[in-house]
Structure 1
């Protein structure tokens, strides 16, 4: 297990430095330049970490406090890439509101301060070797984003931020209890208090841990971190928060924070799977995943607010990813990881587009947005691409990840080592019936979701625009993220780059190692 220090120190220290400098700067172009420089440094450092992981494998750093393997490197790649695109979009987004007088320069400075703290907390959670530090970093994301959600200081924004803070804090408190239970089980085996929560140590002794304690610990972590993911029934904060927060913040919440919360769950699952019966954690993930998919699909059909439409789409796709991880195996796990990447790209594109629409039309009501193809042609193309990707249409990459997960659901198997022939045949028949029922249910709701989602987006893009809405879309740097994310959704659907595929293959091995 090797060690590198410079990229690790840069990727941890740069956001903190950026946060401090943001508070001391009162010039808009300097704030944007500082933000882009920070994100560029993070992205370059992450690429160095990916190279290290691909060539030499996992490693620890900074006296064992940092642990990086293919899984954490993959999540970090999503954080830094989407974060960089959000920084580009933020340039024109905040400047527009600043020119309108909606926000002040001091508020822009505070935005970047909180944005950098948000980034640091997610990076720290992903790199932490200690489950306790991971938990503290996840709580840090809650504190930073609560203020970002209510950034525009409207009554609805304050309500959404307060609801987010309360519900996610309760969820994180439950995750803390799960972490304490894991510590209790670990310290009884190790007798070493200092390393009892280290991921590297827990993976080595997981098969010796008390399975009854680990079962309870995983349930608490599933509910706790599942609240941050937005899984049903812990999802009620999500539509309100996503509809009120600034567009770049929502892109980070939906595309990145949910992914980091999934990472925390996967770390817990990987440890629990060493000590618990096969399919225990998987069945829980499949149940909550499919429940989230079904509930979100039903709510999508009745939405009149396009930001809430995309918010429920996040719940739906996190449910699909959870089902993939629950089924497990190479197909389910690879499909789950691929779906996280695709969701981050598609949801960023969706909320960037939604931010453009809201600034031009001044409303979130779907029926009040018409003629987008004439008013904002580039944004119209972007929102159509995002919508088609989110409903799983080919050739977009989300179609491939959904096919992988559905295929894994259809072919899932159960252990029959201790069963006699008659019981084995009964299980096989029951398995076929259950798999058929699950896949049929998935496809039925997917068709309904496709119809409802595309109908609402089509009503926004076509028809004549309302009177008084300015037509035309001037090119600016905020269009770059739209092009990049749209191209990635098409490109990854045609051919996944070899370094990304290699990293994901190794991440699958990390999650499936028993």
Structure 2
């Protein structure tokens, strides 16, 4: 690997790892918040350097057009969430919900999570990727239970148990891929390296690959939040700190999706293996429709948007399952827009719950009057997430639907049905929360709204105009995905 590229890719892992070690011993909140922010910002800057490099493979880390998309998006949202986190956690300290030990633990785990996700995205070895995703899972389990309330601990245990089942299935699938590759490549490290696997994939045992992919999509699909393996996600969102909800929806789900896409490429390269698309389409539609119905029954604002994440991960899985240049482009665009929009929504929701002192939707009313900056931010976020023009998700959903109509018109029926169902549910919930007479108590909160409106501005810009170099970049990745 080129020495400069080797340095950059290693810094993407090393910076958050070093920051995590430092933060584990830093007890003063303001200093730890600044260190967390600076480390996240430095990681994002190094990620931007990857845009100027040529794809290259090393022994343990590699860079190509596909993982650059995920890394830049991941580090950007990690950076903006660290800005938002500073004011959010400060309020939690002032109200006594978190103590010095909890805060020190929170910041150390935040950077550990960033390190693990970057490592998973950069790993050139399928075993190393699995380990990194497992570390990211365990880190978020600990952060979900940080409040130490009975409900938080229950949510953390539920996440741990379901996540462990999922990661065990993914491990078994990874072992089967190694076994399928062994006759063609031989034993040892090379049989687990992405570049070698892709080159030799046509020679692999197709039956072994078929079984492996079933385990892999069920295992990593648990982390993506695809139904019916989604049960951990609403509880984790509801009980954990809101910055972690933003990271879960905006980043961790994408990292697991990245693993699924890598293995999908492997199967596509083997002509004798099953087409992975139909399974992804089925799980995607199931997630979309189930989540859309569940949106009508939620009474907790964070659970509401957790189900919205399940809905949109279903749309993304559906798009990548359809495959082809247009559907893959739409899937990439939708993943990017969803990550930016959903994290922005959670930025608003976090401060709204602090202001109102509750997560109950029925007790949150008239936000545009009582808290206009947060209220209108939430309105804009929901308008974006339901796919109204001219915001970016409208464009990505339009491309998904139009490509489906062109290739599989019958599949467009449940797709559009799920989209309309979710559209109605979210607008119904938003109307009561944003408008009308304010109710309930209001606390004084120093809200950090810059990340919220920065994300929404990017989503609006993407809906109005996508720069030609970004379009070309996404088109190249779409072709790579097959």
TM-score of the pair, normalised by structure 1: 0.91
Q: CA deviation at 1:499?
A: 4.0
Structure 2: which 5+ runs fail to align? none
Structure whose CA Rg is larger: 1
Report deviation, 1:78. 1.1
Deviation per CA, 1:202-225, whole angstroms, max 9, x where unpaired? 010000001110000111000000
Deviation at 1:2, TM superposition (A): 4.7
Please report how far the alpha carbon of residue 278 of structure 1 lies from its aligned counterpart in structure 2 after TM superposition: 8.0
In structure 1, the residue matched to 2:300 is: 305
- Relative to structure 2, which stretch is displaced further, 129-138 or 276-285? 276-285
Pairs aligned (count): 481
Q: CA deviation at 1:277?
A: 5.0
Match among 51, 56, 60 for residue 57 of structure 2: 60
Please name the residue that 2:256 is paired with: 261
Residues 1:149 and 1:467: Cα distance change in structure 2 (over 3 Å): closer
Out of 393, 404, 421, the residue aligned to residue 448 of structure 1 is 421
* Structure 1 residue corresponding to 2:365, chosen from 342, 367, 370: 370
What secondary structure, in the 3-state scheme, does the structure 1 residue paired with 2:57 have?
Answer: strand
1:221 to 216, 223, 236: 216
Quote the offset at 1:389 in angstroms.
Answer: 1.2
Q: Any conservation in 1 of the 2:117–2:133 contact (CA below 8 Å)?
A: yes
> 1:175·1:223 contact (CA, 8 Å) conserved in 2?
yes
Instruction: Quote the Cα distance in structure 2 between the aligned partners of 1:277 and 1:488.
Output: 42
Look up the match of 2:466: 496
Contact persistence 1:299–1:312 (CA under 8 A): yes
Partner of 1:35: 36
Evaluate the alpha carbon distance shift between residue 174 and residue 375 of structure 1 in structure 2; reply closer, same or farther with a 3 A threshold.
Answer: same
Aligned-residue offset at 1:473: 6.9
Unaligned 5+ segments in structure 1 are 413-434
List aligned pairs for 1:237-248, cutoff 5 A.
237-248=232-243
CA contact (8 A) 1:377 1:473 kept: no
* Contact 1:125 1:133 (8 Å CA) reproduced: yes
Q: For residue 394 of structure 2, what is the aligned residue in structure 1?
A: 399
Residue from 117, 137, 146 that aligns with 2:141: 146
Question: C-alpha offsets along residues 390-423 of structure 1, whole Å, 9 cap, x if unaligned?
Answer: 11111110011111111221122xxxxxxxxxxx
> How far apart are residue 436 of structure 1 and its match?
3.1
CA shift digits 1:111-160 (9 cap, x unpaired): 01111111111100000000010111111111101010011111111000
Output the TM-score relative to the length of structure 2: 0.97
Q: 1:197 aligns with which of 173, 185, 192?
A: 192
Give the secondary-structure state (helix, strand or coil) at the position aligned to 2:318: helix
Superposition pairs for residues 475-514 of structure 1, below 5 Å? Answer: 478-512=448-482
Structure 1 position 207 matched with structure 2 position 207: no
SS at match of 2:449: helix
Show the counterpart of 2:410.
437
Deviation of the 1:509 alpha carbon = 2.5
Q: Which residue of 1 aligns with 2:404?
A: 409
| Rounded Cα–Cα distance in structure 2 between residues aligned with 1:505 and 1:375 | 44
C-alpha deviations, 1:148-179, integer Å up to 9, x for none? 00111111110001000110110110011110
What pairs with 1:23-172 in structure 2 (closer than 5 Å)? Answer: 23-52=24-53, 56=54, 58-61=55-58, 64-172=59-167
- Name the residue aligned to 2:343: 348
Kept in 1, the 8 Å contact 2:355–2:445? The answer is no
Q: Is the 8 A contact 1:214 1:276 kept in 2?
A: no
Distance 1:469 1:481 in 2: 22
Q: For the residues of structure 2 that align with 1:473 and 1:181, how far apart are their CA atoms?
A: 52
Contact 1:378 1:473 in 2 (8 A): no
Q: Which sits farther off after the overlay, 275-284 or 165-174? A: 275-284
- Paired residue secondary structure (2:276): helix
CA shift for structure 1 position 298:
0.7
The 10-residue stretch of structure 1 (435-444 or 98-107) with the greater mean CA deviation from structure 2:
435-444
Distance 1:444 1:45 in 2: 42
Matched, 1:275 2:270: yes
After superposing the two structures, state which structure 1 stretch, 275-284 or 93-102, moved more. Answer: 275-284
Secondary structure of the residue that 1:25 maps to in structure 2?
Answer: coil
Give 3-state SS (helix, strand or coil) of 1:141's partner.
helix
